[in-house]
A and B are shown apart, each in its own frame.
Chain A
């Protein structure tokens, strides 16, 4: 697959995504639900437990998923989609959507994993339509977002901040 250079998420799409995540969080009584892109960037997060460390969590969870996926591949498993990290108090369930995104659910021992599995599958189905639209259309609105003022301003900021 040709790798994308940009993913652009609109207001409307983010609202749809946040809605699905919010519902999933409530229905499973999870403490947090996150959507990442598979390279570790956080698209959005719901719930309190992940907010403060969202950036680091994104990088680590995507790394953990990718490494587990390669392990599975070496063992001959072709269709690897989920990992489940079981802690004493908190559990993390990560599942891949459309080969491009990761849905992460953080929940405690009061929530049954079976419920998380079923509802996250449902959420993935709901999300995949929106996400496919994001993925398919990578040129839209770019010019209006990244206009010439933004570009020169970002260069100045880089010069200003990236120095001894």
Chain B
């Protein structure tokens, strides 16, 4: 949940990038890290295994500076995608103010995406979140892959709630900021 500290005039919000292994969550954060104004970003932490996959989470704090008297910060997290780490995903989701569900658009990943979004909804319910009001958006990533499914298909089966969605090629940065702007504004609107 967002932490609003009246005494120190600070607001902290937590945004989590969720999705299957290799869908491009870490790539989103890395792109933001390397392209954003350096005064906005903090240190990026990646807790990875020796094989370079995200074991625990990635963490990137962003500082918008003082907005109308309040130091406003967004903390971006990713979850580990592998099935094995369900517990870790639940831990990282704890206290999330908003979620970007990153979809690997490739046809061969379709089933895994479906399972992952079902799991996410279950986890959010477990955490007592009301899914109808909770800020969540979709990112259709890897649009550059030859086997990418048409967006209309993804919309129909993976976006039943008709939340905002963005096409992306995170590895080249396309769509990364559109996604980040959208989720940030939704999170702020819920405060």
Name A's B-contacting residues (CB within 8 A): 1-11, 13-15, 37-44, 53, 55-56, 59-60, 63, 66-67, 70, 141-142, 145-147, 149-151, 153-155, 157-159, 161-164
How many pairs of residues, A versus B, come closer than 8 Å at their CB atoms? 145
Residues of chain A lying within 8 A (CB to CB) of residue B70: 145, 150
Residues of chain B lying within 8 A (CB to CB) of residue A42: 12
Residues of chain B lying within 8 A (CB to CB) of residue A4: 1
Q: A9-B5, A14-B5, A60-B59 provided; 7 other pairs, C-beta below 8 A?
A: A9-B7, A55-B73, A59-B57, A63-B56, A67-B87, A142-B4, A158-B181
Residues of chain B lying within 8 A (CB to CB) of residue A147: 68
How far is B56's CA from A7's CA once the two chains are assembled, in angstroms? Answer: 26
Which residue of B has the minimal Cβ distance to A144?
A: B6
Q: Is the CB of A14 within 8 A of B64?
A: no
Residues of chain A lying within 8 A (CB to CB) of residue B129: 3
Query: Cβ of B152 < 8 Å from any Cβ of A?
Result: no
Residues of chain B lying within 8 A (CB to CB) of residue A70: 87, 90-91
Count B interface residues, CB 8 Å. Answer: 55
How far is B129's CA from A157's CA once the two chains are assembled, in angstroms? Answer: 28
Partner of B191, one of A6, A153, A164: A6
